[in-house]
Amino acid sequence: MEILNFHQMSWQEGWKQFEKPCVKVDISSLVSKTDKMIEQADSREKVIELINICEEIIKIDPTNQKALIELYSFCFLVGYGYADNKEEKKEYFVKTIKYSEQYMYSNPEFKLLADKGDKVWEACRVLSVREMEAMSYWYMSVGLYWKECQGVGGKLINIKWPIRIKKVLVSMMEIDPTWLNGVPYYLWANYYANAPGIVGGDLKKAEEYYKKAIELGPNMLNYRRSRSYYVYTKKKDRESFKRDLEWVISQDPHKAGLSYPWNAFIQHDAKNGLANINNYFR
Residue 185: burial class (beta carbons within 10 Å; 0-12, 13-18, 19+)? buried
At residue 5, does pLDDT exceed 60?
no
With cut-offs at 50, 70 and 90, classify the pLDDT of residue 27.
confident
pLDDT at 23: 59
d(CA 278, CA 273): 9
Note the pLDDT tens digit of each residue in 112-124: 999 999 999 999 9
Q: Give me the chain's average pLDDT, please.
A: 91
Residue pair 106/129 in contact (Cβ under 8 Å)? The answer is no
d(CA 102, CA 14): 5
157 vs 249: which has the higher pLDDT? 249
pLDDT at 59: 87
Residue pair 71/102 in contact (Cβ under 8 Å)? The answer is no
CATH architecture of structural domain 12-176:
Alpha Horseshoe (1.25)
Whole-number percent of the chain with pLDDT over 90: 75
pLDDT at 3: 44
With cut-offs at 50, 70 and 90, classify the pLDDT of residue 98.
very high
d(CA 72, CA 102): 10
State the alpha helices, DSSP H only, in the chain.
28-38, 44-60, 65-77, 86-104, 108-115, 120-123, 132-148, 152-157, 160-175, 179-194, 203-216, 221-227, 233-235, 238-250, 260-275, 277-280
At residue 251, does pLDDT exceed 60?
yes
| Listed residue (141, 224, 134) closest to 179, CA to CA | 134
Domain regions of the chain by residue span: 12-176
Note the pLDDT tens digit of each residue in 129-172: 999 999 999 999 999 999 898 888 888 888 888 889 899 999 99
Average pLDDT over residues 195-205: 84
pTM, whole model, 2 decimals?
0.91
DSSP state of 3: G
DSSP state of 200: T
- Tell me the three state secondary structure of residue 105: coil
